[in-house]
Chains A and B, each alone.
Chain A
Amino acid sequence: MGQKIELACIIDDDKIYVNLVRKIIEIKHLSENLLIFKNGLEALDYFKVILTNMTADKLPDIIFLDLNMPVMDGWEFLGEFIKIKNNFDKKIILYVVSSSIDPRDLERAKSFNLVTDYLIKPIELKKFEQIFDRDVA
């Protein structure tokens, strides 16, 4: 059993999904705190602010990134995040989470080094527990 995850981050525009995940995290006590952004741009803005004022405790241990979102989608976020992530001293685990079963999306997601895995919605409760348990920094 690893260390408990302090801060998890969800980037997803599906409110119902986000609420359900929030509930799972609460019930299973998977993370102390939760950051929620409804598109890539909001999340990116958050990380850019931290860059200017470095405080590691505000950086999430784990990110769950949706692909299909308005304003800035998951791909665009990945493209931007890759440019700034090396400025953080903390290792951030990133999962792409999508209901797309298009193999092209899968391939593309795996081509990013910073993507740990591609998870297809719905994620089993047990899988959530495993992820939070195993992937502690």
Chain B
Amino acid sequence: MLNDLQLNSILEDFDIAYWKINILTNEITWSEHFEALVGKPSTQDSIFNYFLNNILHKDYKYDFREAFERLTSGSPEISQEIKLKLQNDKYRWFECRNLKSKENSNKDTAVLLFVNIHQSKRDQYTIEENFFYYRETAEMTSTGGWYIDTLHKAIYWDDVTKKILDCPGDYQVDYDERMRFYSTDHQEKALSIFNKCEKYGIPFKTEIKMCTLYGREFWVRATGKPVYNEEQEIIGIRGVFQNIDENKNNELNLQNSLDIIAAQNSRLFNFAHIVSHNLRSHSSNLSLVVQLLSETQPLKDKMELLDNISDISENLDVAISKLNEIVTHQDVLTKERKTTDFSNALDVVMASVSSLIKRESATIISDFKALKEIQYIPEYLESILLNLITNAIKYKQPGRKPVIFIQTYLSNEKSFMEISDNGMGIDLDQFGEKMFGMYKTFHRNSDAKGIGLFITKNQVETLGGSISVTSTVNIGTTFKIKF
């Protein structure tokens, strides 16, 4: 058997301090090591009260007193985690438990051990804390973890992954169905990045469109890395999905607004250029007239020149009213969209160009069955129809009666209108780019003012749509408007 001295030295080596308690008298003796840790007790107070009031952290006062009472009343086992103030005034964690009394040992004495557990306690806290931060971060940033066991074809998702994919907590994803969680147009990309990672160990970090259990599409940033076994063979892929739908959408919207602003800016620039050009051409003629007037001698010649002035002023007037027309057409944001019926709009237009239709024996066929109405500015729809219809009649194939076919339909939840004619067509390779510019005319046609398509394009675009054209020379032209 070890004697007290040997035992003490062993306990000290293990950083264990203890109390010896006489159960009959409740007298407490501190071991040397215990005294070394917390300091000598004051002699004024009982050793127990001194301990309670000066050494033990106040949070554990109640529990410790209760455990101590159980010990002195013969409880076979107590165990407590408590904090004690050491000599340096810092609190440290200790586990406090009794030495079990053997059959033959002295039943009058109990031994209470104090084991320093500060390090392990702190590690445990750190882990809990880290885990807490990890969970909070994952929740706040909508970042879910996942693991694919590529050997056994199994997929494991954490709670956040399930949450961002709208899956219930007990959902088990089937390996063969994994592609259903990617948007149809991104499935190929998803397969490719996962395959590359599985086969060649290429990690990935990409933005991809996923699809929840209920089919709602959204953007995620997917990061994945291969997992190797000890033989350096790839056995799985581990990674995270971060829901970035809001950011991605903001980014897309921003890009969209940027494009619109750029387009409007370029229109404004174009407009300023046109204004300057159109007004300048008349003012320069005026200036020429004035110069000539001073050079010309006979009164008759001078009078002739004066005629020019009236022509110039008339042209200037026309130019200004045309520019006004463009400005009025561009100033749209004040008007509101309302339910606009295609058939009604066409009736209005047909009535206004009835004489032209009659003169050219034009036939207009419409089919609005698939899409009867849209939310639009009625005046705009009418103006678009008017421009495209008069255009089709104006550029008919000589000797052929104009036939115009107008059709509306829905495709991918977007509204479309197509206006096709059997006219002379346009060489798009030559004129395609300028098609919708201002004052561009493509045909040797005296009526051609070259402003209609510019206005039409403007109207369609200011309401968020787009217009495109396909054409075959001598066969006809089709304008397609996406509203």
Contacts and interface: CB of A to CB of B under 8 A. Distances in A.
A101 B276 contact: yes
A1 interface: no
B441 A71 contact: yes
B287 interface: yes
Nearest to A73: B440
Interface stretch (A11-19, A50-58, A110-118): A11-19
B273 interface: yes
Contacts of B295: 27, 125
Contacts of B439: 68, 70
**Could you say which of A21, A98, A102 has the most chain B C-beta atoms within 10 Å of its C-beta?**
A102
A21 to B, nearest CB: 8
Nearest to A15: B311
A71 B444 contact: yes
Interface string B430-450: 000000000101111000101
Contacts of B450: 70
A100 B315 contact: no
A11 B443 CA distance: 18
B292 A68 contact: no
A20 interface: yes
B308 A122 contact: no
Given A124-B291, A125-B291, A125-B292, A17 B441 contact: no
B281 interface: yes
B150 to A, nearest CB: 58
B280 A70 contact: no
- Interface size class on chain A is 20 to 34
A130 interface: no
A23 interface: yes
B322 interface: no
A14 B273 contact: no
Given A68-B439, A100-B273, A100-B276, A20 B281 contact: no
Contact of A16 (B273, B315, B442, B443): B315
Interface string A56-95: 0000000000001011000000000000000000000000
A14 B292 contact: no
Chain A CB count within 10 A is highest, among B277, B287, B444, for B277
A24 interface: yes
A71 B448 CA distance: 9
Which of B277, B288, B291, B444 counts the most A-chain CB atoms under 10 A from its CB? Answer: B288
B306 to A, nearest CB: 13
Interface string A1-31: 0000000000000101101110110010000
B277 A20 contact: no
A64 to B, nearest CB: 13
A99 interface: yes
A121 B280 contact: yes
A20 B288 contact: yes
A70 B281 contact: no
Interface residues of B, number: 28
Contact of B281 (A14, A27, A41, A102): A14
Contacts of A122: 283-288, 291
Contacts of B273: 100, 102
Interface in B230-277: 273, 276-277
B124 interface: no
B276 A20 contact: no
Given A20-B308, A70-B448, A99 B289 contact: no
B296 interface: yes
Contacts of A123: 288
A23 B441 contact: no
A125 B294 CA distance: 11
A68 B437 CA distance: 12
B292 A20 contact: yes
B291 A99 contact: no
B155 interface: no
B28 interface: no
Contacts of B292: 20, 23-24, 27, 125
A16 B311 contact: yes
A62 B281 CA distance: 22
A121 B287 CA distance: 9
Contact of A101 (B280, B288, B441, B443): B280
B33 to A, nearest CB: 91
Closest 3 CB pairs of A and B: A122-B284, A121-B284, A99-B280
Interface of A: 14, 16-17, 19-21, 23-24, 27, 41, 68, 70-71, 98-102, 121-125
29 contacts: A14-B281, A16-B285, A16-B308, A17-B281, A17-B285, A17-B288, A23-B292, A27-B292, A27-B295, A68-B439, A70-B441, A70-B448, A71-B441, A71-B442, A71-B443, A98-B277, A99-B277, A99-B284, A100-B273, A102-B276, A121-B284, A121-B285, A122-B283, A122-B284, A122-B285, A122-B287, A122-B291, A125-B291, A125-B295
